[in-house]
Amino acid sequence: MGLIVAKFGGSSVASIDRIKAIADRVKSMRENGNDVVVIVSAMGDTTDDLIELALKTGPERGCREMDMLLATGEQQSAALLALCLNNIGCPALSLSGWQAGITSDNNYSKARIIDIEPQRIIKEIEAGKVVVVAGFQAVTEQGDITTLGRGGSDTSAVALAASLGAERCQIFTDVNGVYTADPRVVTEARQLSSVSYEEMLELASLGALVMQPRAVEFAMLYQVEVEVGNSFKNETGTIITGVVNMEKHRIVTGVAHDLNVVRFAIFDVPDKPGVAKKLFKALAEAGINVDMVIQSAMRDNRNDIAFTTEENELQKTVPIVEKLVQDIGASGMTCGTNVAKVSIVGAGMQSNPGVAATMFEALADEEINIHMISTSEIKVSCIIDQERIKDAVRSLHKKFSLDLAD
């Protein structure tokens, strides 16, 4: 057969019983003639528990030390799965991210992979072993441990699949695949049989939690075919690939929503060259990702600038913006956390006019006010009041008939 890279998320390895079930599944893959490399996340809520422990140490929590701490969660899972595999007669070996040859930059807590040297993995595969790699982690050129951000085990898996030339990367989780919307919000949401890299990247970036956006970027860049499926069901999941059988009538592929949003507004910003550069460069240098940006019409040589960032970056963002308000001579600022983002995504939108208007109509019919709008070739996003987000998702799913079979 070939080489399979399979990633199992935190819910899949949340207990010893679940790890034993995963071991049985991996052994079955091996018995079918495949070489297997497994990437695992930390068990259940282990990462959150480690963060809670760190909070008890005091206010100073350096990112380097946090990465040293958080990386232990995945190492625990990897060792336990290797032990289970060996105990059922399937030779296995666990490796940390750095033992697996994964090198990153030194942007602690959000490190980016810069190189993979998989010789150790290849050696163990050739020796007939299943290799279990701790996801979410890497090492800098200076030898310091880093983590790849929330969901980083997805990135570990896809990057290793690309480096090893695997036939497919399988991302196993607690859902059956990628859905037209979050099935916890829309009971009529359907599993998609396939989705393009571009659509999946938009869905992941806009709040669909099934895959980390950077993992999709890796898959698209290196043309790694990815299957998202259920850890405990032997059913075909959703295939993420560069070539999708595009249904002619499928204008919108899915609806995504994101609650991790905070909206900033800066008032009476001087209308002169370099002001926007100063503002957004300062945020970028602090590692803060800015999403949507709106600048109002000029009045008296001044205008207002509104933008959104992730709510979990709020404490880091506020002092930077407050200082910038003083530096650029603006009159003040506000920030609001009671907002959310709802988006529609679909490659068919490129050649079908009026999709945005249909979206706005659906929201208007529900009397949902739109605060900000952002568009690209294959998506439209709106910032709305957080309390109306479920109504928005359901109305859009119905408006675009996403409950109907392809």
Please, what is the average pLDDT of the chain? 93
Burial class (CB within 10 angstroms; exposed 0-12, middle 13-18, buried 19+) of 184? exposed
User: What local confidence, expressed as pLDDT, does residue 249 receive?
Assistant: 57
User: What local confidence, expressed as pLDDT, does residue 406 receive?
Assistant: 60
Is the pLDDT at 404 greater than 90? The verdict is no
Is the pLDDT at 358 greater than 60? The verdict is yes
Structural domain spans, the chain = 3-174, 262-336
Is the pLDDT at 247 greater than 50? The verdict is no
Q: Are 155 and 204 in contact (CB under 8 A)?
A: no
Closest-CA residue to 181 (of 206, 152, 158, 216): 206
User: Residue 90: which pLDDT band, with cuts at 50, 70 and 90?
Assistant: very high
**Distance of CA 60 to CAs 63, 268, 275, Å?**
10, 36, 33
User: Residue 405: which pLDDT band, with cuts at 50, 70 and 90?
Assistant: low
Architecture of the domain made up of 3-174: 3-Layer(aba) Sandwich (3.40)
- Residue 349's Cα: distance from chain center in Å? 23
Q: Is domain 262-336 classified as CATH 3.90.1010.10?
A: no
Residues contacting residue 283 through CB under 8 Å, at least 6 positions apart: 290, 309, 317, 320, 321
